[in-house]
Amino acid sequence: MGTTTGRRGNDGKSNTRVGRFGHRPGGAVGDSVVIRGRPYGVWGGSSFSSSGTGKSSSPPPVLKNAEDLAAFIKERVSNVLVMVGAGISTPSGIPDFRSPGTGLYDNLQKYNLPYPEAIFDIDYFMTDPRPFYTLAQDLYPGINYSPNTTHHFLHLLHLQHKLQIIYTQNIDGLERLAGIPEDKVMEAHGTFTRASCTRCGRRHDGQRVKQAIVDGDVPVWCDEPKCKGKVKPDIVFFGENLPSEFWDYHHHYLPFTDLLLVMGTSLQVYPFAGIAEAVSTHTPRVLINRTPAGTIGSRPGDLHLTGDIINNINTLVEALGWQDKLRHIQQQQQHTNKTKENEE
């Protein structure tokens, strides 16, 4: 599979298998199945542990509002681990998956699917790839949507040498389009920038596959002699593996994380949501989301900023004194968009 190549995680584990056609536990793109109790499918089903991680054994600071958070970021933080979901991209016009009436899964009737999630099911794709190829024409990064204030803020965190890594559930690629370096983004549910054969695993030029899909020249077939399997972008379908690099957080990042920042996700899908539970109890966890999510709020160092995500980001940027820096990034994005429009 396109998402199974690459090195194994530092824990030595192979990639985690997610659900099959007709059996759809959490883990693939668009999934929001709530798995109660122990996290699903993590290291053989074992629960996460927050012991042994974190830089300090001292109690976490008490953060009561955006001003406290800003002071903490400026004075004490150099490694922010960020977790993001669909909620950071809805201001860009991208629908989430399950909001009643407006979510992606509520607007797939024209494809005559047996159930909405089938459009991202690898077994269904092998039977009939046309629904996914058609939907992908709108989903490809940079065609219909642009980064918003939240993405620009994440880029600013990087420029201020505060960003450790972004773990994103999104497949829209807006983090990259915002200018955040590729090595600072872990696309947990895969990416449109690469493509692979579903039969032999051969890598294919992502841009060529994109153009074929946008032009309606589908199915896209593997050019490996004697294979002729179907080619798709390397986004994680139900029935495929998470990228092996997903597991690097436990050894590569969490021991050095100063702050966990969670935005636009309900933290209902494991193993992604387990990252927030694996963070040391000495590390502050901050949630910027309309509603509560996961276990954030259960520890002394937790902070939940409710309400509109863009308003919260603007408040935080003001408290940080980064308004001019953010404005400069936004102006650069506008210039990039205009240049792209002129080229088209």
Only one residue has tokens 């890594």, namely: 165
71 annotated to bind ligand = no
172 annotated to bind ligand = yes
Cβ–Cβ under 8 Å, residues 310 and 149 = yes
106 annotated to bind ligand = no
Phi, psi of 326 (to 5 degrees): -65, -40
Cβ–Cβ under 8 Å, residues 287 and 316 = no
CA–CA separation, 218 and 221 (whole Å) = 8
| Chain mean position to CA 146 | 16
58 annotated to bind ligand = no
281 annotated to bind ligand = no
170 annotated to bind ligand = yes
333 annotated to bind ligand = no
Measuring CA to CA, which residue among 38, 24, 34 is closest to residue 267? 34
285 annotated to bind ligand = no
200 annotated to bind ligand = yes
Q: How many CA atoms lie within 13 A of 164 on its CB side?
A: 21
Q: What are the residues facing 234 on neighbouring strands?
A: 191
266 annotated to bind ligand = yes
State the catalytic residues. Answer: 189
Edge-to-edge strand list for the sheet holding 163-168: 185-187, 163-168, 80-84, 259-263, 285-288, 302-305
Give the end-to-end CA distance of the chain in Å, rounded to a whole number: 34
Q: How many CA atoms lie within 13 A of 199 on its CB side?
A: 14
Environment class of 236 (CB within 10 Å of its CB; exposed 0-12, middle 13-18, buried 19+): buried
265 annotated to bind ligand = yes
89 annotated to bind ligand = yes
Count of helices and strands (H, E) across the chain: 9, 9
Edge-to-edge strand list for the sheet holding 203-204: 203-204, 190-197, 231-235
227 annotated to bind ligand = yes
CA–CA separation, 111 and 133 (whole Å) = 11
Measuring CA to CA, which residue among 274, 278, 233, 343 is closest to residue 53? 278
Q: Which residues are annotated binding-site positions for NAD(+)? A: 86-90, 96-98, 169-172, 265-266
Q: Which residues are annotated binding-site positions for Zn(2+)? A: 197, 200, 222, 227
Q: Which residues are annotated binding-site positions? A: 86-90, 96-98, 169-172, 197, 200, 222, 227, 265-266
